[in-house]
Structure formats: C-alpha cells, structure tokens
Chains A and B, each alone.
Chain A
Amino acid sequence: MTALTGSRVRERRLLLALRQADVARAAGISASYLNLIEHNRRRIGDAVLARLATVLGVEAAALAEGAEGALADDLRDAAGAATGVLPETERIEDFVARYPGWAELLVAQHRRLGRLERSVAAFSDRMTHDPHLSAALHEVLSVVSAVRATAAILAESEDIAPEWRARFHANLHGDAERLAAGAQTLVAYLDAAGGTEAEEPGLAAPQEELEAWLAARHWKVDALELGATAEARAGLLAEAGGLASGAGRAFARDWLAQAGRDAEALPMAKLEASVAELGPDPVRLAQRFGADVIAVFRRLALMPGARLGVVICDASGTITFRKPVEGFALPRFGAACPLWPLYTALGRPMTPVQGQVEMWGRSPRRFRVLAFCQPRLPEGFGGPQLSEAAMLLLPLDDRTGQAQAVGTSCRICPLVGCAARREPSIVTDIGAGAI
C-alpha cells in the first residue's frame, strides 16, 4: 500500500465515470470517507481496498501498488548504484507519480548503463583470457624475434659467408610473409571485436533476451508440443534465430531443444489434467510421468495461463532460468536473496523443501514455495557432479500463517536485522514493519 493508493482509486473511478456516492455505497463506506481516501488523507484497510477493487473492476494489488510498482523497483535498483549524493529513495513513489517521463528515462538509462558495463567487463575478460588473441600475439612476437635476430646478424656482420647470408635473407623473407599474415589476423580479430557492441546490444545478457522473447509470446511455445507440425517448429526456431545477439540465439536454441525434450516427456494436456488432480506437486507429477523432477518445474513454467513463477539455478547459485510471477521481483542480474528456498534446496539435494515466503514491498506478497535440487552426472562416475535446483512460486492471498521474509537482492532489500544480509541496503527507510 502506498501513499498514492487513494489517487489511484480516484483515477479509476473517474475513468469509469462513476459518482463518488455510488462507489462508496457499493463498497459499504460513506461518501465522505471515500472522499478522504481519494485524497490520500486516510489509509485504506485491506478489506475496504478489496471491496473498492471489486466495485472498480480491478485487482486490489493494482490499486495498492499501482502500475508504477515495477518502475519504482527499477528506480530503487538504479539508486543502489548511486555514489556521492544519495537519491531520495523514500520519495520514489512521489517521483514516479509526478514525473513519469523522467522516471522512465532514468530507468532506461540505468538499464543501458548496466548493459554497457557488462560489455566492458566482457571485453576486458576477452583481452586478458582470450586464447585466440593470445595465440595471435604469440605468433607475431615470435616472428618479430626471429626477424630482429636475423636482421641484426645481417646488419652487424661484415664477414658473413655468402651461403649464410643467402639463408638469412630467405629466412627474413619467410618471416616477413608470416608477420604480414599474423598482423592481418590480429586486425581482423580486433575489427570483429570492435563491432560486437553495436551488433550485440545484450552481449552478456543472452538470458534476458530469451526471457523477453518468451514473455512477448506469453510463454507459449505450442510448436514444441506433441502433434505440432514440422513447419511450426521450423517457424519457432527461425524466430529464435532472430534474437539480437549471437549468444542470445545460441542460448535460445539450447533452451528450445531442452523444452522440446520436456514436452515429449510431459505432454501439456496430460500435465494440466494431472495438476488439476494432484496439485502442482513436482515430485508426484514426475513420478506419474516417469520424468525428471526439474523437468516438471520447467514444464509448469510453460503451463498456459498459470499464475506461478519458476526459478532455476545451477550449483553456483547463478539463476539459469526465470519465469517471473507478479509480486516476486527477480534480480535483473547479480546475486539473489540467500533466504530463497531455492538455495535451501541447493544445500539439501534430493530433499523436497517447501514453505511460505513473503516478498518485501509496500504491500507484501505471500507465496507458497516448493523447491528441489537434483544432482546430475552427465559424464558418469568419472565426471563432475552438476547440481540444479528449482523453485516453484505459487501466489497466496491468505497471509495469516508463518512465512519467511525474503527479498530480491540485498542492495535493494529493506529488511532490517536480516541474518543473511551480505551488504548494506539503500532502502532501509521502508523498514521491516510491513512484513
């Protein structure tokens, strides 16, 4: 709930051309009380908010958080990067409401800055560790050494025998050719590297590209389902081939291949029927289909119209897949909240972890969470053990029971006195009181 909830109620009412008195009567409150609410002079209780939302035909959350919720989250993220004079994070809502254009611009620039920073990091990584660049430089330096030594002999020796002189001349000629080829390789390499930023806007964020693409498709990839035509599949692959960056395209191809295998093991129509019968229990579903438990998590993410979120990470805790659900903010990049049951599961392979979590925010959201970690041995006994953990987020409306308070990432998390905190937050002003 924010200071501007009342303004949103008023806007919505005016949009529907409803009279204050009519709305108040339908919601079971007095017109004067509604008037105070609309001018942000009274806090609205959850019950009244729910009734007003019904009358106005919107979700209560939309009134409480407003459309600017996501924008405010991004602004908090941007404020996290601030050095020197700190932005007035306690007035973010105000800022968004008064200057939506400036707020959008600031967020867009913050995102662009993040992309550029990652590009720079990737280039610097490439310069230091790239084996091709290193090999090309080594080749050039080796040949330069030979040229220098040979040329010095020719220049400094008066009494050099003719056969030796001829030999050194031939060597010089050969080295000059190699040097020219080596220099061309280097130039071609650096040219290609220089073009990368322009061609690949999301150099280090192929995952974001894939997610944006899937979100634009409303997470529907029917062409992978059983019975889809070969043309439909080819069309989907071609569409994935249209992603902006090479890394994004490769990422999408791998993802589609995996999603195709999952679709075969867990046909959507049967899965939906089984979820209706058994509930969204990944272990029981995996048993019924004889499928991998993590594969069930991936499939649930794609269930049409399902109001659920899925997050998958590898053994390092790095998030490798995320299907967002409203109210549970996922970090754009960087490390997530260590209190997520996802990480509890990661520490207890093959043990189901479940519970309730509450995501911080001005109006906290409650979720039922199921998490599971499964080790994989793709190279058998001799190979490394690769663990993968997945977490299913099911929104809950009932907020009465016990729940673990969690955040998105420490930097933008306001929880005071959190045992898992690893760095100071920039938004401690909100306080833990709400949770």
Chain B
Amino acid sequence: MSKHVLLIEDEPNIIEAIRFILMRDGWTVSTQADGTGAEAAIRDGRPDVVILDVMLPGRSGFEILAAIRADAATVALPVLMLTAKGQGRDRAEAERIGASRFMSKPFSNSDILAAVRELAGL
C-alpha cells in the first residue's frame, strides 16, 4: 500500500504541481484548501505525512499545527511546514509549536520530494 500525504494549501497551481510530483513518486495525495476543515481531514484521512502552508484562509497553519500536536493520536505525525515568508520569526514559531521540517517558498520540487521521503522514513 502506498504512503499517504495530506497537502493543506490554498494555492491551486501549487497543489497541482506538488500532487503531480508526489503521485509520480508513488504517493497517495489528498488535498485540503481551507484551514477550517484541516483537522477533520487529518482525523479521517490518517495521512503518513502532512504538508501544511502557514497562510491559509480560515485558520492559520500555526493553529492547525498546535491542534495536531495537542491530539495524542497525531502528536508524532510528521509535518512539513511551508511559508511564503521565509522569515526567521515564522521559522522560530514553527519550531516552537513542533513542526518536523520547515521550507520557504519558492521551494524546489526535489527538495519537497526529499523532505517528504525523509519524514516518512523512506
């Protein structure tokens, strides 16, 4: 059975590109464009890795990450955070809340792929 990535991101063309490169690498990819439904999508989809954008409509990526870490079922779930502001402040905040990895936009496809593989322990 292939590994499952949940991509929480609101930019449709980024979704399309990441979905393509991960699917081609053999991953199952589900997507969630809205911050408010993110936790339900994680609970129901039981992904192996989550890619989480910081700036989302409805709910910020930091809030979602905090909720993930507060839930015993997902406390160890690998989360790769994406941000369009590669600022030290965002990175420090992500680390404090418990992001597994952090990547600034614009990222390269090979970096994303390598990070997701590493987070899944492949």
Do A and B make up one complex?
yes
Q: A residues within 8 A CB of B24?
A: 157
With both beta carbons as reference points, the residue of chain B lying nearest to A154 in the complex is identified as B17
Q: Is A258 an interface residue (CB 8 A)?
A: no
Bound complex: CA A137 to CA B11 (Å): 15
Residue contact B14 to A145, C-beta cutoff 8 Å: yes
Residue contact A142 to B20, C-beta cutoff 8 Å: no
Residue contact A153 to B106, C-beta cutoff 8 Å: no
Q: Is A58 an interface residue (CB 8 A)?
A: no
- By a beta-carbon cutoff of 8 Å, the part of chain B in contact with chain A is 11, 13-14, 16-18, 20-21, 24, 55, 84-85, 105-109, 112
Bound complex: CA A148 to CA B108 (Å): 7
Distance (whole angstroms) from the CB of A190 to the closest CB of chain B = 18
Residue contact B20 to A153, C-beta cutoff 8 Å: yes
Distance (whole angstroms) from the CB of A427 to the closest CB of chain B = 42
**Across chains A and B, which 10 residue pairs bring their CB atoms closest together, nearest first?**
A149-B17, A146-B13, A145-B105, A145-B106, A141-B84, A148-B106, A171-B13, A146-B14, A144-B106, A138-B84
Name the interface residues of A143-187: CB closer than 8 Å to any CB of B: 143-150, 152-153, 156-157, 164, 167-168, 171, 174-175
Bound complex: CA A145 to CA B107 (Å): 6
Distance (whole angstroms) from the CB of A270 to the closest CB of chain B = 57
A144/B105 contact (C-beta < 8 A), A138-B55, A138-B84, A138-B85 known = yes
9 contacts between A and B (CB under 8 A): A138-B55, A141-B106, A145-B107, A146-B17, A149-B14, A149-B109, A157-B24, A167-B16, A171-B17
Distance (whole angstroms) from the CB of A144 to the closest CB of chain B = 5
Q: A residues within 8 A CB of B11?
A: 142-143, 145-146
Residue contact A171 to B107, C-beta cutoff 8 Å: no
- By a beta-carbon cutoff of 8 Å, the part of chain A in contact with chain B is 134, 137-138, 141-150, 152-153, 156-157, 164, 167-168, 171, 174-175
With both beta carbons as reference points, the residue of chain A lying nearest to B104 in the complex is identified as A141
Known: A167-B16, A174-B13. 6 other contacts (CB 8 A): A145-B84, A146-B13, A147-B106, A149-B21, A153-B21, A168-B16
Q: A residues within 8 A CB of B107?
A: 145, 148-149
Residue contact A171 to B16, C-beta cutoff 8 Å: yes
Residue contact B84 to A142, C-beta cutoff 8 Å: yes
Contact among B14, B16, B18, B109 for A142, CB-based, below 8 A: B14
Number of contacts between A and B (CB, 8 Å)?
Answer: 63
| Interface majority SS (helix, strand, loop, mixed), chain B | helix
Bound complex: CA A137 to CA B83 (Å): 12
Residue contact B17 to A150, C-beta cutoff 8 Å: yes
Residue contact B105 to A141, C-beta cutoff 8 Å: yes
Residue contact A152 to B14, C-beta cutoff 8 Å: no
Bound complex: CA A137 to CA B105 (Å): 11
Bound complex: CA A152 to CA B24 (Å): 14
Bound complex: CA A145 to CA B55 (Å): 14
Q: B residues within 8 A CB of A174?
A: 13
Q: A residues within 8 A CB of B109?
A: 149, 152-153, 156
Distance (whole angstroms) from the CB of A186 to the closest CB of chain B = 14
Distance (whole angstroms) from the CB of B28 to the closest CB of chain A = 18
Residue contact A164 to B106, C-beta cutoff 8 Å: no
Q: A residues within 8 A CB of B16?
A: 150, 167-168, 171
Residue contact B17 to A153, C-beta cutoff 8 Å: yes
A150/B21 contact (C-beta < 8 A), A138-B84, A142-B84, A142-B105 known = no
Bound complex: CA A134 to CA B107 (Å): 19
Bound complex: CA A167 to CA B84 (Å): 24
With both beta carbons as reference points, the residue of chain B lying nearest to A138 in the complex is identified as B84
Bound complex: CA A395 to CA B84 (Å): 60
Residue contact B13 to A150, C-beta cutoff 8 Å: yes
Bound complex: CA A194 to CA B96 (Å): 37
Q: B residues within 8 A CB of A143?
A: 11, 13
Residue contact A164 to B85, C-beta cutoff 8 Å: no
Residue contact B108 to A152, C-beta cutoff 8 Å: yes
Bound complex: CA A157 to CA B109 (Å): 12
Bound complex: CA A120 to CA B14 (Å): 38
Distance (whole angstroms) from the CB of B116 to the closest CB of chain A = 13
With both beta carbons as reference points, the residue of chain B lying nearest to A172 in the complex is identified as B13
Distance (whole angstroms) from the CB of B76 to the closest CB of chain A = 28
A164/B84 contact (C-beta < 8 A), A142-B105, A153-B109 known = no
